[in-house]
Copies of this chain bind each other. A is one copy, B any other.
């Protein structure tokens, strides 16, 4: 996930934007095929010191200016003039961010599948294991241990579904030009945009420079996914308490030790997910704050999104992966489960736990 959001990825997506723009414009007759080829070659051949470029971008307020300047210096006459035609810095920045979110989501969903699968196995394994259910942190009535796990799984699977849906819908190409009118394409801007979207594997959209609801929706979906991992983490950490002892994280070499207490086994995976779940809500607030963007392209709001999104996706990746490892190796102590259940009273009536868990395992679409 770090590679999805690092400087090299940003530069690669930005170069892909410029090359795809030229190809699409050539296909639509806006620029010549030779120019497009020269631009594409320059995008391939260019060697960039990402650190130096990042410094220049910070000064310029945008990556596109120094990057386009470098490319233009590699090109001659018509090709130099054809480069970046009809595009603006934000077209590049937004398209880069959306390509990153698409790639990051693919990684996240792969890890989420792994996590959801591992939880399904656990939910089946403990489908008939009675355990005391706890509400408001107090012993309540019996459940099955598998129902608890099926609830984790369902929350995470639903959240992953929402993220997938929002990304498919909103991870769109940006191509509007300076004022969002698609000027500079000889009236072929819509067709150019369609070609580019297909080329870059992004959704099509009318220019959305100052219309950021889709970005916010992706960010909120990522935060919900993080929070559902935090829910599982909270439970595992509570179950791992010495006075409870029903489940513990697996032992991983180098993980969960204490610098002061050699015997201690800390819920370090849970810590990763819970820490992410504390940071994510505020990050979403930062995205939402940018919605009232000024006029055709705003000042300060959209520029805040990319680092927030990188943080959200890195936190999500850490949380989902940590919980996948925990799920795959969860150390369940059936004797302690039975002991705690007995301590809570004689009842073994788990109601319809099994049916509910089964329903939760077959569907991601409820609740």
Contact = CB atoms under 8 A, between A and B. Distances in A.
Contact of A138 (B68, B183, B240, B365): B240
A138 B366 contact: no
A36 B135 CA distance: 28
A213 B231 CA distance: 10
A235 B196 CA distance: 30
A162 to B, nearest CB: 6
Interface stretch (A25-33, A42-50, A99-107, A220-228): A220-228
Contact of A68 (B210, B259, B294): B259
A281 interface: yes
Q: How many copies does the complex hold?
A: 4
A346 interface: no
Contacts of A352: 181-183, 185, 187, 189-190
A136 B276 CA distance: 15
Interface in A326-360: 340, 343-344, 349-353, 355-356, 359-360
A56 interface: yes
Contacts of A264: 138, 140
A24 interface: no
Given A181-B147, A206-B367, A285-B282, A138 B241 contact: yes
Contacts of A257: 60, 65
A343 B185 CA distance: 25
B183 A148 contact: no
Given A135-B295, A140-B178, A61 B288 contact: no
A178 B260 contact: yes
- Residue in A89, A237, A242 whose Cβ sees the most chain B Cβ within 10 Å: A242
Interface in A272-304: 272-301, 303-304
Interface stretch (A5-13, A73-81, A110-118, A151-159): A151-159
A45 B280 CA distance: 39
Interface residues of A, number: 150
Give 6 closest A-B pairs by Cβ, nearest first. Answer: A227-B291, A274-B300, A183-B351, A181-B351, A133-B179, A282-B282
26 contacts: A59-B254, A60-B268, A61-B256, A61-B266, A61-B272, A68-B259, A84-B259, A88-B135, A139-B242, A141-B177, A141-B183, A147-B180, A177-B260, A177-B351, A190-B356, A206-B356, A206-B367, A217-B224, A230-B292, A234-B293, A267-B299, A278-B290, A278-B301, A281-B281, A282-B286, A282-B289
Given A88-B135, A147-B181, A235-B295, 19 more contacts: A62-B259, A134-B242, A134-B295, A136-B266, A141-B178, A141-B183, A143-B180, A151-B180, A206-B367, A207-B356, A211-B228, A213-B228, A224-B291, A227-B291, A233-B292, A275-B300, A281-B288, A281-B289, A289-B289
Interface of A: 56, 59-62, 64-66, 68, 84, 87-89, 92, 133-144, 147-148, 151, 154-155, 158-159, 162, 169-170, 172, 176-185, 187, 189-190, 203-214, 216-217, 220-221, 223-224, 226-228, 230-231, 233-235, 237-238, 240-245, 252, 254-261, 264-268, 270-301, 303-304, 307-308, 311, 340, 343-344, 349-353, 355-356, 359-360, 365-367
